Structure formats: structure tokens, C-alpha cells
Amino acid sequence: MNYKIVEIEDPETNDVTHRVQDSENTTLSILEDELGEDSISEAYQIDANYIEARYTDYFSNEFSALFTPDGGLIKKGICELTYMPETDEFIILTNANGDEVCYEYTSDHEKDLYGIINSSGDYVLKPQWSLIEYNDFYGCYICNNNAYFLNGEYIGNLVVDLDEAILLKNGESFYLLYEDKSLSDSYEWLSKKFIELPSGTIAIVAKKKGKYGVIDSKNNIILDFKFDEINLESFIHPFNNGESIYDELIFTTKLGGLIILKRIVSDGSVSDYLKCVGDYFKIITINTDEAPIAVFFHDYEFSVYKILQNHEFVSSGNIEIEGNKSIAIFSLNGKYGFVEKSNSNTPLLPFIYDSIEILYFNNIPSFGKLGFLASISNENRIEILVYDYESNSYNIILTGTEKENILNEFKALISNSLSTYNKYT
């Protein structure tokens, strides 16, 4: 049925009333009567199913009222309203003067707050938000730029927008919200950092029932949930002839006492690349034009492999202890450097030295190692390095060309340090 809004002025009082009439000009409703003593300045259809009227109340507050198409009052006391045809709901702005429900959500009772009502005027979301927007791509409401609601239910706060899905956290649970307005399974944890697989699919490291696995952005399982750990920083392409192989990706998992490097290829299949007994590992890029290396630590030993199309063993050895640091010293392409177990992924000492010797306090064993003697042959240079705990790096404290001379300088430095130490004890 077609309806129209007609303004009729009383010739005696000059009062204007807004009437809803049907196609036969029969008056179905007088909007002013629905509002009581409120004065309407204008009324118009905002959709075939709704009428909005602007009015002023007894206290001179200006509001909107929402009516059915035949003039039945749905709700009044609205500062602003926006119709959402996708949900047949309204985002409304109101305050305590217009709607007493708003009173409990603001301390000064003057602040305008957003809420959502349905076609009956009932609140779907209470008026407690400073901003509400509708995301038609995901079919959800976003409140205060962070809280997401679907079908009137809170589904979580935004963690990250992955373009193909939105990652949300609700309490201790994590979810993905998809374009089809559906939610993924519940997870104990989802990484906000995503990985692009060789197939072009977006992958996410996830945790479920205490175990880690990998899913794609559509909630398909790529790697079963059975691992104790999956290293987010380890996803890297293997090398071949000095170039990255982009249709393969290597990443590191831990299962019991095993560290397992996994390979995933462009068709999505996953296989074992390398297994090693270990309790700690790291993958390090030494130079951008060289294959990354994997360093495995186990008890007091380490082993090193190059991440090529087929892994290549580099070396193994005993871990050296420097204070509370576990250091693996080895050579790459004929040059020595070292990697520390718990430090960042970069080498602690660059692989530029022809030799590295460890320096001790021979007669004070409780002090442990003090430094390292390193040489660069083609520059005829010898360096003595010690660890700087503030910068978390090794600094050159002495340099020279003659080993005996630089060692004597070092001994003198130690002697001076010890005498100073004794002076204050």
C-alpha cells in the first residue's frame, strides 16, 4: 500500500498537522497526536517502511521520531538516526533528555551516545558508545572503532584486519570474521602477524587445546594442531644458486625434544625438511645474497645447517659459556663469527674473522671468560673484544698488528682492573 504525508493547516489556529494518508486520501494517522504535545517541523519518508519526523519537545529540545509507514510511533527522543537496510535496524544518537535509557551510561547525563534499535524500537545495542559504524563487507557493527557486534551479539575486539578476514579477541578466545558474515572456530591464540604462502594463501599460526598449528585465512587447517611451538620469525625461503626459491617456504616447529623444519610448497602440501634433536633454535640471515642458516642448540652442543633447496650441514661444536650467555662459534665460507642462543636473530659477532681465540682469567676461574681474540689476516689486524651488557653486543677494546703486544696490553688492562676491584673490597 502507498502512503503519503500531508501537511494540513487549521485556518482558525494556523496550527499545522502532519497526516499520513493512503492512496484514497484517507487519513490513517496524525503524527502530532502520536507524539502528544510535541511540535513537528517536518516529516518525510526515509524508506518505504519508515517515516522520520523532526520535532521540538516541551523543553525546546529538538529530536527525531521514527514511525511506521502508516504513522504508528516506533520511537522518539532521537538526536540522529541512520537506517541500515541490510539489517533493518537503525543506528541512533540520543541523550538522557531524549531517552532515559541513556542516563545510566554517562556520568554527566548530557553526553550524546550511539546505540542501535530494531524496527520495533527496541535496543539491539544499548546507547553507550561514542561512535558506531556498520561494515557492510563483514555485516557487522563496529563500536568505538574496536568492539565488533554481529546480529546484536558482541563477537570481539579488533586485533588486526587481514583484508580477507578480521582477527578478533573475545575474552580469552580468538576468532576470524569472514566476508560471508560467519565466524571461524574458537582458538586459544591467533597470530596477528600473517604469512603469505607460496600458493598466495594467507596463513596464520594458531593455538588450540594447548597445541600449535597453521590455518589459512578461511579457517582451513594447513598444519595439524600437535606442535609444542611454531616459530613465527622462522618462515623463510630456501636458497638455490644464490637466489630465494619463492615457491617453497621453510618454517620451524618443535615437538617434544625434536626441532622439525617444515617445507610448504605452492600446491599447499607440507613435508619435513630437517629434523634435529634440540631445545632451542634460530634461523639467521647473514647476507641477503646467501642462504639463511639454522642453528640448533641442545644441552652444551650446537649444530649449523644452510637452508638450501636440500639442507647442507655446516658444522657442529660445543657451546661456549660467557657469563649467562651460550655462544656457538663456527665458520661460514671460511670466516668465523658467533651466534648467541637467546639473543636476536642477527649474529652476535659478524662472520669476518680468520680466527677466534677465547681469553680467560687463568688464575681466577670463578670470573669465567673475559673476552675474545680475533684476527683479520688480509688487514693484518688483531682485535680483542668484550661483551657490553648495555648495548647487548661485543665491542673492540684493543686492536693492533702483533699478537704478543696486544696480549700484553690486555694483561695490563686486566691487572689495572683487578687492583681497582681489590681497592674497594
More confident residue, 143 or 374: 143
Q: Is residue 340 part of a domain?
A: no
Q: Do 143 and 222 fall within a single domain?
A: yes
User: Same domain, yes or no, for 292 and 359?
Assistant: no
The reported pLDDT for the residue numbered 424 is 41
Q: CA dist 119 to 29, 32, 66, Å?
A: 18, 20, 9
Q: Which pLDDT band holds residue 120 (cuts at 50, 70, 90)? A: very high
Per the structure, the complete domain to which residue 397 belongs is given by 354-425
360 vs 375: CA distance, rounded Å: 17
Q: Are residues 11 and 102 in the same domain?
A: yes
As to burial, measured by CB atoms within 10 angstroms (0-12 exposed, 13-18 middle, 19+ buried), residue 105 is middle
pLDDT of residue 295: 92
| Grid cell locating 44 | 518525510
Assess contact for 333 and 314: CB atoms under 8 A: no
Count other C-beta atoms under 10 Å from residue 94's C-beta.
25
pLDDT score of 286 more than 50:
yes
For the chain, the average pLDDT equals 88
**Are 212 and 236 found together in one domain?**
no
Is residue 403 assigned to a domain? yes
Mean pLDDT of 62-89: 96
Distance CA 164, CA 149 (A): 18
Does 336 reside within a domain? no
The answer to the question of residue 343 being in a domain is: no
Residues 201 and 254 in one domain: no
Residues 236, 311 within the same domain: yes
Query: Is residue 94 pLDDT above 70, yes or no?
Result: yes
Averaged over 82-106, what is the pLDDT? 93
Mean predicted confidence (pLDDT) in 158-171: 91
Task: Please say if the pLDDT value at position 88 is more than 80.
Answer: yes
119 and 1, same structural domain?
A: yes
Domain boundary among 130, 155, 177: 130
Lowest mean pLDDT, pick from 3-12, 113-122, 206-215: 3-12
Domain boundary pick from 97, 130, 163: 130
Tell me how far CA of residue 257 lies from CA of 260, 296, 320, 325, in angstroms: 10, 12, 22, 21
Taking only the tens place, the pLDDT of each residue in 341-391 is: 876 657 778 889 999 988 876 554 444 455 778 888 778 889 988 877 777
pLDDT band at residue 321 under the 50/70/90 scheme:
confident
| Confidence label for 406 from pLDDT (cuts 50, 70 and 90) | confident
CB 142 within 8 A of CB 154: no
**Are residues 2 and 118 part of one domain?**
yes
**Looking up cell 680475533, which residue turns up?**
374
Q: What is the pLDDT of residue 361?
A: 61
Statement: the pTM of the whole predicted model exceeds 0.85 = no
pLDDT of 250 above 90: yes
Per the domain annotation, does 56 fall within a domain?
yes
- What is the predicted pLDDT for the residue at 362? 56
**Residue 13 pLDDT > 50, yes or no?**
yes
Residue 337 lies in a domain: no
At 416 the pLDDT is 66
Cα 34 from Cα 77, distance rounded (Å): 13
270 compared with 387, residue with greater pLDDT? 270
Distance CA(164)–CA(184), nearest Å, equals: 13
Reduced to 3 states, what is the DSSP secondary structure of residue 31?
helix
Taking residues 10-31, what's their average pLDDT? Answer: 89
pLDDT tops 50 at residue 422? no
**Domain termination residue (choose one: 227, 247, 281):** 227
Query: 16 in a domain, yes or no?
Result: yes
Same domain, 125 and 164: no
Whether residue 60 is found in the same domain as residue 97: yes
Q: What is the pLDDT of residues 388-401, one digit of tens each?
A: 777 777 888 889 89
Residues 6+ apart with CB under 8 A from 100: none
CA nearest to 174, candidates 186, 159, 165, 182: 186
Show the CA angle centred on residue 320, arms to residues 317 and 323, nearest 5°: 165
For the residues 46-56, what does the mean pLDDT come to? 93
Q: Establish if 342 belongs to a structural domain.
A: no
pLDDT of 251 > 50? The answer is: yes
For 26-44, what is each residue's pLDDT tens digit? 999 999 999 987 789 999 9
Does residue 151 sit in the same domain as residue 190? yes
Contact in structure between 153 and 140 (CB atoms under 8 Å): no
User: Which has the closest alpha carbon to 317: 295, 334, 333, 335?
Assistant: 295
Are 152 and 100 within one domain?
no
Beta carbons within 8 Å of 369's beta carbon, 6+ residues apart: 320, 321, 322, 358, 359, 360
- Structurally, how many domains does the chain consist of? 4
